[in-house]
Amino acid sequence: MASTVLKRSCYSGMRSMVGALSTGGRSYASVAVGTDIVSAAPDVSLQKARSWDEGVSTKFSTTPLKDIFKDKKVVIFGLPGAYTGVCSQQHVPSYKNNIDKFKAKGIDSVICVAVNDPFVLNGWAEKLEAKDAIEFYGDFDGKFHKALELDKDLSVALLGPRSQRWSAYVVDGKVKSLNVEEAPSDFKVSGGDVILGQI
């Protein structure tokens, strides 16, 4: 199925909290079908979700992107943040509930990434009972999303610099399909059911 790449617009805030939205700024993210994510975000690492004690015992180690994507079929989705409404109630469950279907299609890992520290993400993943199905990674300083131009200022919702809501199917680091919501509060194209049809 052809990838759905939606126009990326800068909004004044999340639709559910603001109502009227204004558009402008960059039209598209720099990441697109065919992009090599590792090359697009050089020297960027993510932080696997873990408890504080696990962080201390691993000396707060990080995971290079090549270790996440090289020689693997990966479904990755990004969202504005842990413990937020759509993220908790719809986005993560759409992947958790379809994990057997992803595995049947040969997907090596399903990954959730957000601009949060790995300790918050760990607590959230445990609350959602999703750690056995999905790998959670923190982009604590937002460098990953900024490199791909998938970042979003959500200060109006008291979240500060965060991520767009998006999903991608990535094979050996190359983006095969990409879906970006028009607004972070939307949940139309970035869910598990959509990307299952694109694999």
Return the active site residues.
87
Nearest CA among 70, 163, 80, 82 for reference residue 130? 82
The tally of CA atoms less than 13 A away on the side-chain side of residue 190 is 26
CA distances for 188 relative to 78, 180, 194, angstroms: 14, 9, 9
Residue listed under structure tokens 């970035």: 190
Helix intervals (H) in 59-114:
65-69, 85-86, 92-96, 99-104
Rounded to an integer, what distance in angstroms lies between the CA atom of residue 62 and that of residue 58? 9
Other CB atoms within a 10 A radius of the CB of residue 22 amount to 11
Rounded to an integer, what distance in angstroms lies between the CA atom of residue 146 and that of residue 167? 15
